[in-house]
């Protein structure tokens, strides 16, 4: 996900997070599951790690405007959300 949003699409961290939240909301709305993959190499600095933690927390909590459908997340995302 990070390679597509940050690399290929050239989005900023904030734009990438907004896009990921939109994708998660769409998955919830249609009863789907979402798996997020971030590579360690895209988290070299504090800002990037904070971005990842915040995104993981937000996706774990969910968008309250969407129907409450479980979202499957990679164990690393769930751990990052708990550690925040």
* Domain carrying residue 22: 2-83
- Total-model pTM: 0.64
Using a pLDDT cut of 90, give the percent of the chain over it. 0
DSSP for the chain, written as a single string: -HIIIIIIS---HHHHHHHHHHHHHHHHHTT--------GGG--SHHHHHHHHHHHHHHHH--TTS--------HHHHHHHHH-
pLDDT the model gives residue 80 = 52
Q: Given a cut of 50, is residue 1 above it in pLDDT?
A: yes
Span 8-49, pLDDT tens digits: 888 888 888 888 888 888 888 898 888 888 888 877 888 888
CA distance 23 to 32: 10
Does pLDDT of 4 surpass 50? yes
> How many structural domains are present in the chain?
1
């Amino acid at each position: 996900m990070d390679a597509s949003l940050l690399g290929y699409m050239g989005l900023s961290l904030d734009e990438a997070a907004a896009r990921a939240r939109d994708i998660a909301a769409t998955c919830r709305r249609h009863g789907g599951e979402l798996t997020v993959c971030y590579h360690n190499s895209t988290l070299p600095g504090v800002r990037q790690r904070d971005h990842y933690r915040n995104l993981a927390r937000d996706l774990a909590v969910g968008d309250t405007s969407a129907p409450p459908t479980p979202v499957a997340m990679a164990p690393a995302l769930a751990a990052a959300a708990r550690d925040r």
